[in-house]
Homo-oligomer: A and B are copies of this chain.
Amino acid sequence: MKLYWHSLSLIPWRVRIALHEKGIAYDEESVDVYSSIERSPEFLALNPFGQIPVLEDDGLVVAESIAILEYLEERHPEPALMPTDIALRATVRQYMCWSTDYWPPAWKKWMAPHLPGLQSTPESVAEGRGELCMHLDVLDARLEGREWLVEDFSLADVCYAPLVTLLDRVGLADDLADRKHVARWATQLNERPSVKETLLV
Contact = CB atoms under 8 A, between A and B. Distances in A.
Q: Contact residue range for chain A? A: 20 to 34
Contacts of A1: none
Interface string A160-198: 000000000000000000000000000000000000000
B90 A60 contact: yes
B98 A49 contact: yes
B48 A68 contact: no
Given A49-B98, A49-B102, A138-B48, A87 B60 contact: yes
Interface of A: 48-49, 58-60, 62-64, 66-68, 70-71, 74-75, 86-87, 89-91, 93-94, 96-98, 101-102, 134, 137-138
A59 B48 CA distance: 40
A62 B74 contact: no
Contacts of A101: 49, 64
Contacts of A66: 66, 93, 97
Nearest to A64: B97
Nearest to A72: B90
Given A64-B98, A97-B64, A98-B64, A71 B49 contact: no
A64 B87 contact: no
